[in-house]
Amino acid sequence: MQPDTRCLHAGDTVDPATGAVMPPIVTSVTYAQESVGEHRGWVYSRANNPTRHALERVVADLEGGERALAFASGMAATATALELLDSLSHVIAPNDGYGGTYRLMSEVRPRSAGLVFSFVDCSDPGAVRAAIRPDTRMLWLETPTNPLLRIQDLAACAAIAREHGILTVVDNTFATPLYQRPIEHGCDIVMHSATKYLGGHSDVLGGFLVARTAELGDRLQKLRSMAGGVASPFDSYLLLRGIKTLAVRMERHSANALAVAGFLAAHPRVVRVHYPGLPDHPQHALARRQMQGYGGMVAFEIRGGAAEAKAFLAHLRIFTLAESLGGVESLAGYPATMSHSAMTPEARRAAGINENLVRLSVGIEAASDLIDDLRQALG
């Protein structure tokens, strides 16, 4: 079955009781038991819920994993993945990844769990190998990265991790399961901020962990149940609805992003464009080999500095200045003070996140209108 078809039919979600094409929203917190110790598989909604379970079957199918777990947010999913580790474990993570992940790993988990983190250029497998220590227990990848759209070699990094008995976790938010399936490249866990492309309409928070093996999925399920960061039934319904149109949305997002990136690359006020679909992207060949599409995110550096970037953002009319990404509407962000504000200026500079950098989440509007908006804002 092709990915486009699986978005609509994965997980066998037709309600067996009524034949409803969309699973019902089951809001009950608790379930009647036949007798002590005998029940129908549903006990308490923090542990399991029929609506959430239908969503999880769909996402597991799309990612090719044995089990998917839905969370209240992408950060809840990320925090739970880190709960797999014992205190004092060492984690390797990208130095140019999502700012919220960086904040959790640099400010919270070292204090609350005693975890130790090394932030390196994970687009270089040699840097990943060099960062491994005897106490390394997890390799956290994110490809394409947020916001610089760098590509990490999943197969190479997963192979290095396996040599050392290290879990490999991949933030697959930008690519979605349609354009990249990390488990097929040997990775152990896939993370999604479902708030973004999976939901697709900027109206629901959600996150996922997808486990390669049933055993790993069971461990994560127990951790989620104990910590409690589960997706609600209504949010699960919204995500199920969003996934139905994921394939057609991603096709439009990607086509528009390629058109926008091409326009920006030719504009005299643009210094550099970051988009893996452009032939001059440093890792374009790897992206072609590893991905089935390039996605809807574009970043670019405007000629000048912070003042020029902010002036550009102030003149946009169709692109909305806002946090988040992956919705049907086009958004523009300024990573230095928005998504990556938790990083120190030195850390941002080391990662290549400069003050003239603008991040675009290219929506599904007419590409010509988006380009006209960018043209007038650039002046």
Instruction: Note the pLDDT tens digit of each residue in 168-217.
Output: 999 999 999 999 999 999 999 999 999 999 999 999 999 999 999 999 99
What value does the mean pLDDT take over residues 73-81? 98
- Report whether pLDDT(117) > 90: yes
What is the total residue count of the chain? 379
Chain segment 134-146, per-residue pLDDT in tens: 999 999 999 999 9
* Torsion, Cα of 108, 358, 143, 135 (10° steps): -30
Cα separations (Å) of 199 from 53, 66, 102, 327, 359? 16, 22, 23, 8, 20
- Report whether pLDDT(3) > 90: no
Residues 26 and 233: beta-carbon distance below 8 Å: yes
Can you tell me which residue has the tokens 């190998």?
A: 129
Q: Where in the chain is the domain with CATH 3.90.1150.10?
A: 246-378
pLDDT recorded at residue 277: 98
Instruction: Tell me the pTM.
Output: 0.96
User: What's 3-244's CATH class?
Assistant: alpha beta
Can you tell me which residue has the tokens 């043209």?
A: 375
Q: Where in the chain is the domain with CATH 3.40.640.10?
A: 3-244
pLDDT recorded at residue 69: 98
Q: Integer distance in angstroms from the first to the last C-alpha of the chain? A: 47
Q: Which amino acid is residue 118, in one-letter code?
A: S
Beta bridge partners, 171, equal 142, 191
Chain segment 268-325, per-residue pLDDT in tens: 999 999 999 999 999 999 999 999 999 999 999 999 999 999 999 999 999 999 999 9
User: What's 246-378's CATH class?
Assistant: alpha beta
pLDDT recorded at residue 171: 98
DSSP annotation of 105: I
Active site (catalytic) residues = 46, 98, 171, 196
Residues 139 and 114: beta-carbon distance below 8 Å: no
